[in-house]
Amino acid sequence: MKSIISSEVNDLFEIHMQDVELISIIHPKIKEVETLSQEIIDSTDELELRWIQELNNLNLIEDSLPVSISSDQRTMLFDQITESCKILAEVLGCSRFAVRLAKLRSPMCPLFHVDQIHCRLLIALCGNGTEWIESEMVDREILLDRKNINVPLKNGGEIKPMGTGHWCLLKGGKWQTNFSGVVHRSPHEINDRLLLSLDPIFDQ
């Protein structure tokens, strides 16, 4: 399995390749996004938003964002979520998404694990990105032992960070039969971060 790091958003279509586990897209406005996101973190005590977003009702994004943020911050978040929904709809053929926007002060998922979903788009708008291990370097015996809290890393492997501001699309445990999903965890360095995630919802 391999990962792809690119500045071309259309490379997200490569997620359909059997040998690709993760794609990280470097967003062109990464510095602007990080600056505005840091302002949100500095001015907000708590932020935890979840909603189901439909592609044909983008006004819901505006209605779902906190009223306390500035117009520039609101525009940045609206653009990030809108662009994410549109490209994921093209790549995955779905029109609904479970959106989460949260300010996190500590590791939400401190242990390495696999999400039992088809896939997830993770964007650390500010702060450290999610950490992950290449599938070939995962010690499956440790990973599957729920009583073992050691890092499931084979000798020679390394823990890799997803870049701040990058659009990181990772396969989950339900993506394909011959791959069990990307092994990842929240970053262990404690700092405030603003995390945006989108889970595609596929019609049954």
Angstrom distances, CA of residue 202 to CA of 101, 107, 127, 175: 21, 29, 30, 12
Phi, psi of 52, deg, nearest 5: -95, 120
At residue 54, the pLDDT reads: 96
**Within the chain, which residues score under 50 in pLDDT?**
none
Give the domain ranges of the chain. Answer: 2-201
The CATH architecture to which 2-201 belongs is Sandwich (2.60)
Q: What is the pLDDT of residues 154-171, one digit of tens each?
A: 999 999 999 999 999 999
Task: Tell me the three-class secondary structure of the chain, residue by residue.
Answer: CEEEEECCHHHHHHHHCCCEEEEEECCCCHHHHHHHHHHHHHHCCCCEEEEEEECCCCHHHHHHCCCCCCHHHHHHHHHHHHHHHHHHHHHHCCCEEEEEEEEECCCCCCCCECCCCCEEEEEEEECCCCEEECHHHECHHHHHCCCCCCCCECCCCCCEECCCCCEEEEECCCCECCECCCEEECCCCCCCEEEEEEEEECCC
